[in-house]
Structure 1
């Protein structure tokens, strides 16, 4: 297995394995440590690049920036025929990369993500904007508690071993996201809306029926729009952690095809 470390001006990444290029993007407040439960499986037959988004993990930048700036920063990591895996906020970024680089992005695997995270008149299948506003307010006074609360929210409704989740949480928080990046991430979740656009590349959406952040009604709407959607009935927002076997069965044929 080959391995290479890349440190750019505003993004830190690790590349492992050989084969089809896969770019993996984590969610809000997280970093590449979140992928540990599936890391070995994913790198068996592919060249996988794990990214810490700007302002997260071991990336050097102090701010996440706008969506356009994120696309510009990540573009050098997108090779021809790349499959992008995006989870939660990372799914929004993956969609933006597909729109910007349709000749390079071969397909998208979108986990616990949606075209639009916050309710709009034309997109009611989302979080109330007050929820994100409360997170933003709490970050200023209770930073660590707010991040830990968000981490717990992602697993709500699922059965899991507390010790395993605490170990994963501690691994992620070893390199905590910077406060400016967290605020900018919330702004992206609040403002980005791809619900009226059609992705230009093949896409598979993996959703958990128990997800508290992405309402399950999104699955029906996406299917009506012609997308391929797979719903894991007992999973929440982080199916690759809590239901690894079911998740892997749903994604392996898609990413290696």
Structure 2
């Protein structure tokens, strides 16, 4: 089997693991890593079929959890964006002793819209998958355009141009990875299990996010251990891109509070 690729960067005293979302790879974290690498030792993972692991065999959800569990640094903060949130939540349920805390970014324990549960229509998610398969680069451009339009006050044209350029220079994900990721988004439901996570959990949402509506925060605050939700105004599905400075402040404060709890 092809070797699973991951790498670390930074010299901080705390471990931070980043898991990207559906349709993208770890390049999505580029500027976030630049901001945080002096505070953390950051472990960057490309999921099978994406980025540097494009040719690694694509796995089903439980197989994926088993694989990633083999590469868990001690007592790390695990941050998952979108689909990545499902992964870090499941790891927190199966390996809580090896995780200090988790951060869900624009994520949900279940992504489809149901009665009394906000989310995406199946047809919307299917359309997104088909767009990625048909014209990946155009889909990436449209995604970045959405993040930029939803943040008119803080747009830095050079920043957006460079970020989009970096994403377009990466490998397109394999079609098999897009299919399996789509199945995960449609089928994995952790709504009942998430209340069993007993380690600190921070959830960050964008107020304008249509993929993961902010209404989910209220529902999860009712059932989660130590509920903590933050909604970033005028942000969409990728607040760590559109509101980078604010996002980093939130992460550093959360991390500092964890340290304080341990000392006290």
Q: Normalising to structure 2: TM-score of the pair?
A: 0.85
Is 2:191 the partner of 1:189?
no
Structure 1 residue 64: Cα displacement: 3.5
Residue matched to 2:228: 228
Which range moved further: 138-147 or 98-107?
Answer: 138-147
Residue matched to 1:131: 124
Which range moved further: 30-39 or 106-115?
Answer: 30-39
Structure 1 residue 104: Cα displacement: 0.5
Structure 1 residue 97: Cα displacement: 1.1
Question: Is the CA contact (8 Å cut-off) linking 2:19 and 2:84 kept in structure 1?
Answer: yes
Q: Any stretches of 5+ residues in structure 2 without a counterpart?
A: 260-264
The verdict on how the C-alpha distance between 1:217 and 1:155 changes in structure 2, with shifts beyond 3 A counting, is farther
The verdict on how the C-alpha distance between 1:182 and 1:151 changes in structure 2, with shifts beyond 3 A counting, is farther
Q: Deviations over 1:182-234 (max 9, x none)?
A: 22111111111111112232100011101121111111112222421011112
Structure 1 residue 11: Cα displacement: 3.4
Q: Deviations over 1:158-198 (max 9, x none)?
A: 22345432321221232222221122111111111111112
Residue matched to 2:66: 72
Secondary structure of the 1:110 match is strand
Work out the CA distance in 1 between the residues paired with 2:145 and 2:211: 12
Q: Deviations over 1:56-105 (max 9, x none)?
A: 11115355321112112211221221110111111111111111111101
Residue matched to 1:204: 202
Residue matched to 2:211: 213
**1:171 maps to which of 151, 166, 169:** 166
Is 2:27 the partner of 1:33?
yes
Residue matched to 1:108: 102
Secondary structure of the 1:212 match is coil
Residue matched to 1:239: 239
The verdict on how the C-alpha distance between 1:116 and 1:46 changes in structure 2, with shifts beyond 3 A counting, is same
> What RMSD over aligned residues (CA atoms) do the two structures have, in Å?
2.1
Question: Is the CA contact (8 Å cut-off) linking 1:22 and 1:46 kept in structure 2?
Answer: yes
Q: Any stretches of 5+ residues in structure 1 without a counterpart?
A: 1-7
Which range moved further: 131-140 or 31-40?
Answer: 131-140
Question: Is the CA contact (8 Å cut-off) linking 1:12 and 1:60 kept in structure 2?
Answer: no
The verdict on how the C-alpha distance between 1:77 and 1:225 changes in structure 2, with shifts beyond 3 A counting, is same
Count matched residues.
249
How does 1:62-101 map onto structure 2 within 5 Å? 62-101=56-95
Work out the CA distance in 2 between the residues paired with 1:200 and 1:232: 25
Structure 1 residue 10: Cα displacement: 3.0
Residue matched to 1:3: none
Work out the CA distance in 2 between the residues paired with 1:62 and 1:153: 31
Work out the CA distance in 1 between the residues paired with 2:30 and 2:137: 22
Which range moved further: 45-54 or 56-65?
Answer: 56-65
Residue matched to 1:254: 254
